[in-house]
Amino acid sequence: MHALLVEDDDRMARALGTALARRGHTVRRVSRALDALRYVHEAGFVLLDLGLPDLDGLELLRRLRTVCDAPLIVVTARCEERDVVQALRAGADDYVVKPFRMAELIARIDTVRRRTGAHGEPPGGSPAGAGGRTVRAGDVEVDPAGRTVTVAGSEVRLTRREFDVLALLAGRPDEVCSREEILDRIWGDAFLAASRSLDVHVAGIRAKTGRPGLVRTVRGFGYRLGADPAGRGERDAAR
């Protein structure tokens, strides 16, 4: 998804930009409020610093909200209760105080996007997420609403968690999901020590569907839906 990063500090912008890019997001970074207003229409979500050179961040937030309802998280050094309350009342979806932990910020972004239904496309962009619709990959169909998976027209029975993992990947067919996000979303703990459990579930999905390429491993990062389910997914799945 495309992120608009409004941040006048170069080091902070670099760190955030790198972290977002690793998650598969594209990023436009701007350091002035005027540029934020110019580019906000293309954003799938917004990270907003309040201390900007040309306009107070809270005022910018109010103006952004008149033209855009994309998920927006304030990321700022201001930690007064008054600032937090004003930002939330002005339409921020969340508020993160610097210095912050990157994993926490990324988790908050995921949460806000999920809550606001922003897994799909930014306004005017190309469809990126499948929402609750049936997703096809080769001869595999995943129906998130009915919680069914069919392979070549025959239903395959997965366990609840196997299905949850597959549905999560199918919901964002063009994105790589990190191990942390999958563990967080489905097991409720991104730092699960027994994260081998995820590999076991992925192996189960591949075996039960008989489609080794249905879930592709992105080494050192996570998983994505495979475009060629019948292909040799196990080859790059070596661990």
Residue with Cβ nearer Ca ion (49 or 93): 49
Cis bond before residue 99 (omega within 30° of 0):
yes
Query: Rounded to the nearest whole angstrom, what is the least distance from the CB of residue 50 to Ca ion in the complex?
Result: 7
The set of residues, in sequence order, having a beta carbon less than 8 Å from that of 85 and lying 6+ positions away, is: none
Query: Rounded to the nearest whole angstrom, what is the least distance from the CB of residue 212 to Ca ion in the complex?
Result: 48
Residue with Cβ nearer Ca ion (92 or 156): 92
- The residue written with tokens 């972004």 in the block is 109
Chain positions contacting Ca ion, by CB under 5 A: 8, 49, 51
Query: Rounded to the nearest whole angstrom, what is the least distance from the CB of residue 49 to Ca ion in the complex?
Result: 4
Residue with Cβ nearer Ca ion (49 or 164): 49
Query: Rounded to the nearest whole angstrom, what is the least distance from the CB of residue 51 to Ca ion in the complex?
Result: 3
- Residue length of the chain: 239
Query: Rounded to the nearest whole angstrom, what is the least distance from the CB of residue 110 to Ca ion in the complex?
Result: 24
Residue with Cβ nearer Ca ion (32 or 136): 32
What residue is closest to Ca ion based on CB? 51
Residue with Cβ nearer Ca ion (57 or 122): 57
